[in-house]
Amino acid sequence: MTNSKIFAIFFTAIFSIGELAHSAEFPNPYTATYGWEQMPAGKELGVPSGVYPDPDGEHIWIMDRCGGNNCAGSDRKPIHLFDADGHEVRSFGKGLLAWPHGFFIDAEKNIWVTEGAPVGDHRGEDGFAMGLGHQIFKFSYEGELLMTLGEAGVAGDDERHFNGPSGIAIAANGDIWITDGHRGGNNRVVRFDRDGNFIKALGGGVDDASDAPGLFNDPHGIAIDSTGRIFVADRGNNRIQILDSEGNYLDQWRHFGRPSGLYIDADDTLYSGDGMSDERRNPGYQKGIYIGSAVTGEVRAFIPDFLEYGANESGVEFLAPDRHGNIYAGEVTRQRLVKYIRE
């Protein structure tokens, strides 16, 4: 490792909050590969809107939008289990979801999905017309529907309604943490107990976007570390906000890019998918994947995305690693899954 890289990592570890070295100064020990997923004959993966490793350590779950960017009216199954070689083992969820967005697998192997389109988002219109959207779904490992939160097709910002819920994570005690919602939706984080009973909401509704500590603007993803701290991808504010297990504000980190998706592994390695940074929205940062420590805030590696995008286009938003440290990343505009192999 060069002296400049050692200095960059040392500098980040000490000054993890505030202005940091540009992402290009961090090492990239990954090689991108394409076409890992082997879909059944005649079918292609749509926008990969969820990635999560199976608890067995061997398989990977991928959620897509039914071969395109929408599941409303589709006869495709959006939730897929793949083996380590990329072969589809099974799938489920046909007809239940319109615009799937958030994805999580809990310690009991239950599978959680959110409907991410808010009111006013044209991508949700077909689902809304069918009475779908604004809900959270809990499935068994085999695909049986066990629980729903929210009222189908009805938006709101009270204890029983959502507006484009974008992400979900389940705490060790079973509490359900939801980012609600997607851009143009509610700017809040909502907490329920394991049985779906409302506990609290942090932040407000559509008109309550804020950059104040503990409030949110387009919260897009959520993850929980080994100590129970809550990490929120507060995308509209170009930061990760860190809350304690009760939802009290602890800290904010701005050096993991403009985060869309977050994942924290068992060793508290933090993966942040930034598909939107540019000189207009987040000066000094570029699109890509930031990898670091959820404990210290140190950035250890960065995978750059050099493709040119239009004003409203995005790169990686959804990501997770396997047990070997390889990263599976869902890119929205290019509608593809990329496997980054750790060298």
**Tell me: the pLDDT tens digits for 104-162?**
999 999 999 999 999 999 999 999 999 999 999 999 999 999 999 999 999 999 999 99
- Mean pLDDT, range 229-257, rounded to an integer: 98
pTM of the entire predicted model: 0.93
Extents of the domains making up the chain: 28-342
Structure tokens at 155: 């938006």
- CA-CA distance, 300 to 110, in Å (whole number)? 32
- Give the start-end residues of each E strand in 94-197: 100-105, 111-115, 136-139, 145-149, 165-170, 176-180, 188-192
Peptide bond into 181 cis (omega under 30): yes
CATH number of 28-342: 2.120.10.30, 1.10.10.1100, 3.30.70.260, 3.90.550.10? 2.120.10.30
Coil, strand, or helix at residue 7? Answer: helix
CA quadruple 130, 135, 261, 203: dihedral sign: positive
pLDDT above 90 as % of the chain: 88
Per-residue pLDDT reduced to its tens digit, 279-332 = 999 999 999 999 999 999 999 999 999 777 777 788 999 999 999 999 999 999
Give me the pLDDT at residue 193, please: 98
- CA-CA distance, 186 to 120, in Å (whole number)? 12
- CA-CA distance, 55 to 108, in Å (whole number)? 9
- Mean pLDDT, range 265-283, rounded to an integer: 96
pLDDT at 8 > cutoff 50: no
Give me the pLDDT at residue 24, please: 60
- CA-CA distance, 122 to 128, in Å (whole number)? 10
- CA-CA distance, 289 to 192, in Å (whole number)? 30
